[in-house]
Amino acid sequence: MLKEAEIRTFVEGTTNYFEISGQQPATVGSPYLVTDGKPGTYEYTGIIGISGARKGIVYFTAPRGMLTVLLMRMQETDWSEDTIKDLVGEVANTISGNVRRDFGKHFVISVPTVVAHDSDKVTPPYPRSYVIPINWRAHSAKLVVCLE
């Protein structure tokens, strides 16, 4: 079970990412617990496997529109499927990497796995997941933390 301070670390990592990369801070809704194991996804999902002292996954999921606007804010002109997929993996990796700084060297993160247009392929390994709703500009996304 995640502690409030641990959830706050994920929230801060998320808001920092959007403030720096998107040049505009994101607002974060109240984190909530999903106990049926299926917190859902948008079109694109970047998944980071976690091992070491904690085990599980962290994933960032967002619609194409949000990711396209984020690319525009980053001065990127290539909005192809491959670039969108790279971006969603980068967001998940950066947020998890920032969290790793706070959690320490025993919080080991994998390279991102990206899933596009197939929510059935995103299955948390444990029945309890924390969902952190993210709103940036006119778009919604979420960060899902499922750790043992």
Q: What are phi and psi of 52, to 5 degrees?
A: 100, -135
CA distance 36 to 53: 24
Eight-class DSSP state of 125: S
Q: pLDDT digit of tens for each residue in the chain (148 aa)?
A: 677 778 888 888 888 888 898 888 899 999 999 997 689 899 999 999 999 888 999 999 999 999 999 999 999 999 999 999 999 999 999 888 888 888 888 889 899 999 999 988 998 888 889 999 999 999 999 999 998 8
Amino acid at 32: Y
CA distance 25 to 92: 17
Name all domains of the chain by residue range, CATH numbers in brackets: 4-147 (3.40.1550.10)
